Amino acid sequence: MFTQNILFCLLCLPVIGALGILFFPKKAVRQMKLFALNVSLCNFLLSLNLWIFFDNSSAKFQFVQQMDWFSFFNMNFYIGIDGISLFFILLTTFLVPICLLISWQSVNHLVKEFLVAFLFLETFMIAVFCMLDLLLFYVFFESVLIPMFLIIGVWGSRERKIRAAYQFFLYTLIGSLFMLLAILLIYFQVGTTDLQVLSTVEFSERRQFFLWAAFFLSFAVKVPMIPFHIWLPEAHVEAPTAGSVILAGILLKLGTYGFLRFSIPLFPEATVYFTPLIYTLSVLGIIYASFTTLRQIDLKKIIAYSSVAHMGFVTLGLFSLNAQGIEGAILLMLSHGFVASALFLCIGILYDRTRTRLVRYYGGLVQTMPLFSFFFFVFTLGNLSLPGTSSFVGEFLILLGVFQTNTFIATLAATGMILGGAYSIWLYNRVVFGNLKPVYLNQFADVNRREFFILLPFVVCIFWMGVYPSIFLESFHFSVANILQNTRI
């Protein structure tokens, strides 16, 4: 009984929390924050049950619940998870309390609205990952934009935030328009938008091309792939720390999750046909974004562009269409969710103290903030995919998978790894080593207890996934095999 309803509880709990916060008086800021934090932590503990009760040996969707919505039109509220969704939901529920904690002292005005927006955002994100109905997936895929738009636009850091929020919102929305057309076309052909029914439908090849391309436009903006990536640096730079963490940690994964869950299983011929396109764009993304990262001067932009590069690896792995590639891609997605979020947290910690994000003002932080330097170092190692961290496992498996399909692309992607090392070490060198610059900055407090306990779980997770990834991999062996079987490759 409990395990049956757990997904619905996961979805409802943040909403109930958000509605509950609305009843708090405006002055009770601390109580509101505590309440929101408690709600999100309860959600996290609840989601751990998903992992505990998950059956590793079946490829079927588990914890399935179905509620009638438009049952006459065969569009129902149909939720369930398999091995792939499981970890994304865990990542979401893990990151939201961290975000609330990191904005404990930096979000001071309109706190109630911030917490409400965040909890709604959490619900929408969990809903995206567990929805088994195509239309509702689209609805929640788009709904994620609204709280995010508010968070960037209201609690962002500079005046350019409005423009960045608009750019983020409109880019994603325009891409998704085509996806809506595609969903309508699918519905008119099949008569339902239930994913499990759609997996059995054979679309004609021409129709598959169009549908795949429409889905591609939507997901490519989200991933983000070159050349649709320019919203990402803007959005990241302008967003508050919590917004950046969620953006990098979860929202980027929505695109690649969409590829994995919808584009590849539903349109197999089109997937094979468009694979060269994806390979080209991914490799371009990796190399081009890495070169651009080398010349950036804003800390957040550096990590934002490096996210583009990592996501290039992910799409490369997804479209290699073998088990190593896809599992590596999923693992890299999870790992990037940890590493990039942790890096944004570190930058947020610096920003809280000094109110600047330009690299030239920083230097010699190891002398005054040694603990912070240690954390930053671990996350830098994760960013450059050092063996022993989770990113290495992901990237290695991806390269393994891609090498079997196309050796030239694998070579180019491997050179992208070199560039990854270049910009990560360059950034770390400039910020942490060298001389202090007291001419510019004189705030040198090391991480306080709250920040320490925010950063610690990330270190643990990165090394855990890097040294013993099998715990994570075994949950999605069967799901990945199922997807590959579906595509009849």
Task: By CB under 8 A, name the binding residues for other proteins.
Answer: 166-167, 170-171, 227, 230, 233, 288-289, 291-296
Q: Is the peptide bond before 227 cis (omega within 30 degrees of 0)?
A: yes
Q: Tell me the C-alpha to C-alpha distance, in Å, between residue 295 and each of 46, 164, 285, 298, 351.
A: 43, 21, 16, 9, 20
Cα dihedral sign, 349-350-356-358? negative
Pick the closer one to other proteins by CB: 61 or 288: 288
Pick the closer one to other proteins by CB: 166 or 209: 166
Pick the closer one to other proteins by CB: 8 or 166: 166
Closest distance between other proteins and the C-beta of residue 161, in Å? 15
Closest distance between other proteins and the C-beta of residue 233, in Å? 8
43 in Cβ contact with 137 (< 8 Å): no
Closest distance between other proteins and the C-beta of residue 418, in Å? 10
Q: How far apart are the first and last CA of the chain?
A: 38
Pick the closer one to other proteins by CB: 209 or 426: 426
Closest distance between other proteins and the C-beta of residue 291, in Å? 4
Q: Is the peptide bond before 387 cis (omega within 30 degrees of 0)?
A: no
Pick the closer one to other proteins by CB: 221 or 246: 221
Closest distance between other proteins and the C-beta of residue 174, in Å? 10
Closest distance between other proteins and the C-beta of residue 121, in Å? 24
User: Measured between alpha carbons, how far is 46 from 6 in angstroms, rounded to an integer?
Assistant: 8
Pick the closer one to other proteins by CB: 148 or 318: 148
User: Measured between alpha carbons, how far is 130 from 388 in angstroms, rounded to an integer?
Assistant: 31
User: Measured between alpha carbons, how far is 84 from 177 in angstroms, rounded to an integer?
Assistant: 26
Crossing angle (nearest 10°) for helices 145-155 and 134-143: 0
Which helix (DSSP H) or strand (DSSP E) does residue 464 occupy? helix 449-467
User: Measured between alpha carbons, how far is 264 from 271 in angstroms, rounded to an integer?
Assistant: 6
335 in Cβ contact with 390 (< 8 Å): yes
Pick the closer one to other proteins by CB: 103 or 167: 167
User: Measured between alpha carbons, how far is 57 from 98 in angstroms, rounded to an integer?
Assistant: 32
Closest distance between other proteins and the C-beta of residue 292, in Å? 5
